[in-house]
Structure 1
Amino acid sequence: MARTAATPPSHQRFGRRIERPDGRDFPFYDGLPTLIPGRRWAVVVAAVVVGFAALVLTGPLFPGPILSFVPAILFVAIPLGAYVWAAGGHRKAIFHRVTGRDVGVMFGFAALNVVVTFVVGGIVAIFSGVSANPLSNELEHASAFELAMFYPRSGIQLFGEELLTILPFLALLYLFVQRGGMSRRRAVLLSWVITAVFFGLLHLPTYDWNLAQSILVIGTARIILTLAYIRTKNIWVSTGAHVINDWFLFTLPLVLGAATS
């Protein structure tokens, strides 16, 4: 339908935009800086699924500390390529310059996530038990070279996990606001929770199909990491928080083990 003088833009029809002092808000859901149509969002979400499948299915085909970069790169490149195509000249809308304040936000959310993970994990362990991440055992027996390769490779993969979450979050935000007529606040909340549950469910094979651990522990961790994006609208910040969080959790046992050996 053509917009007339009596038809206000979508960001007025669906409620006030809630912005940071720098004027930044979520992109694409209300026509600013552009509106990505539903068909393009469908392609982006499909690419997210294909990228994750590439990570899981090609992993055994590329063993070793060097070749294992290939699945991680595919995990990033496939959804990122689809997003760049969909966003066109506005592809930088989820990427912003990282400031000193942003670095502080990364560490703050990473620290919060570590605390919450231990607390929620402890509660879940009491009632249903938890399974260890098999990667922890692999790192314990890894060579120095394998450890050196693990950190940059995992950094790439963690960026892929942010794309896996943030791109569907933005797609749902568009769907709920433009197609469902929801308020911005309700759409953000629903998109936030749905993508956290989705992220947790994807970790079921990693944690021996422990549903409580995947939903409550991993899903809660995802809630906090996504909040870093919600607060800053900058995927580099949520990625930084994710990297700091995971590197700390994987490195701490190695340091403690070396100190007690």
Structure 2
Amino acid sequence: MENDYFRFEDTEHDIPFYNGNPKLSSSKLIVLFLGFCLTFCIPFIEFGDMVLLKAILSCFIPLIAVWYSLDGNLSEIFRKPEKNDIKIIIIGLISVFLVMGIATLIAKVFGIPSQSHKAYAGTPIITILSTIIQLVGEELFKFIGIVLPMIFTYKYIGRKGAIIVGIIVSQFIFALAHISAYGSNIADLILTIGIGSIVFPLIYVKTKNITISYLVHLIWDFIGILPVIFGLATLLF
């Protein structure tokens, strides 16, 4: 069994669904797929200043789909961090910095123009709350994006191959979901969003714990919105 695992993986836990553990009924598979599709569509809907509502929908739609598919047993994918996870979080942040840097450099070498994220709407506290909530949804979205291809490819290419396919599919669709925020330069999205953020699903595959990949993602994004955080601190103090 351990030969089916990558060497960097923790083998105490496994990714659910792909091998029938737990069993995924047709109705649960449909709900999981619909949750994935609906979450993908949310960024393309104009919410105006209601960014918090957008974040809540981005979080709760995939959360409900996964909750239903796991019969409410979210401890399969969300667990309390342990002391050893601190090292993983630190290594993860360093890895994100390096991979993002390499992806940006490749884009420059090939003359692929980079696109800036659209300005944050709302007050600093709304921006911070929206980020905290939405990133849960993003990690769940990528989780569903990994397990759905695994379910259909596992029997043909094995566990390792199915994970690779799942990550590629998930990251590609995740990159496309950012068109509304960054523009339609697909090459830049694939490099800076798809490949640039590949560390997050790899952290999940290692730990089988979305809590850890979420924390790394949250810390990284908070670094990106430091001006907003400093602005809130100025207002409060």
Match of 1:48 in 2: 36
- Alpha-carbon distance, 1:236 to partner: 0.7
Once the two structures are overlaid, the 10-residue window that deviates more, 218-227 or 23-32, is: 23-32
Match of 2:151 in 1: 174
Match of 1:18 in 2: 5
2:88 matches 1:102: no
2:50 matches 1:70: no
2:23 matches 1:35: yes
Once residues 156 and 69 of structure 2 are traced to their aligned partners in structure 1, the CA distance between those partners, rounded to angstroms, is: 22
Per-residue Cα deviation, 1:123-169 (whole angstroms, up to 9, x for no partner): 3134122111123xx48xx7xxx223322210111111111111121
- Alpha-carbon distance, 1:106 to partner: 2.1
- Kept in 1, the 8 Å contact 2:43–2:178? The answer is no
- Kept in 1, the 8 Å contact 2:124–2:229? The answer is no
Match of 1:197 in 2: 172
2:117 matches 1:130: no
Letter in 2 for 1:78: I
Per-residue Cα deviation, 1:7-50 (whole angstroms, up to 9, x for no partner): xxxxx7xx955385662111222233x22135422321211221
Once the two structures are overlaid, the 10-residue window that deviates more, 225-234 or 205-214, is: 205-214
Letter in 2 for 1:184: R
Bigger Rg, which one: 1
- Alpha-carbon distance, 1:199 to partner: 1.0
Per-residue Cα deviation, 1:191-230 (whole angstroms, up to 9, x for no partner): 1111111111222232221111101111112321110101
Once residues 180 and 126 of structure 2 are traced to their aligned partners in structure 1, the CA distance between those partners, rounded to angstroms, is: 24
Runs of 4+ in 1 over 6 A off after TM superposition: 252-255
SS at match of 2:71: helix
SS at match of 2:5: coil
Letter in 2 for 1:119: I
Match of 1:233 in 2: 208
TM-score, L = length of structure 1: 0.77
- Alpha-carbon distance, 1:253 to partner: 9.5
- Kept in 1, the 8 Å contact 2:52–2:130? The answer is yes
Once residues 252 and 108 of structure 1 are traced to their aligned partners in structure 2, the CA distance between those partners, rounded to angstroms, is: 24
- Kept in 2, the 8 Å contact 1:121–1:217? The answer is yes
Once residues 24 and 42 of structure 1 are traced to their aligned partners in structure 2, the CA distance between those partners, rounded to angstroms, is: 25
Matched-pair identity in %: 22
2:146 matches 1:163: no
Match of 2:99 in 1: 116
- Kept in 1, the 8 Å contact 2:44–2:180? The answer is no
Match of 1:259 in 2: none
- Alpha-carbon distance, 1:104 to partner: 2.9
Once residues 254 and 132 of structure 1 are traced to their aligned partners in structure 2, the CA distance between those partners, rounded to angstroms, is: 19
- Alpha-carbon distance, 1:83 to partner: 1.4
Letter in 1 for 2:24: I
- Alpha-carbon distance, 1:245 to partner: 1.2
2:127 matches 1:150: yes
Match of 2:185 in 1: 210
Once residues 229 and 205 of structure 2 are traced to their aligned partners in structure 1, the CA distance between those partners, rounded to angstroms, is: 32
SS at match of 2:197: helix
Match of 1:258 in 2: none
Supply the RMSD in Å over aligned alpha carbons. 2.5
In structure 2, the CA distance between the partners of 1:31 and 1:58, relative to structure 1 (3 Å rule), is same
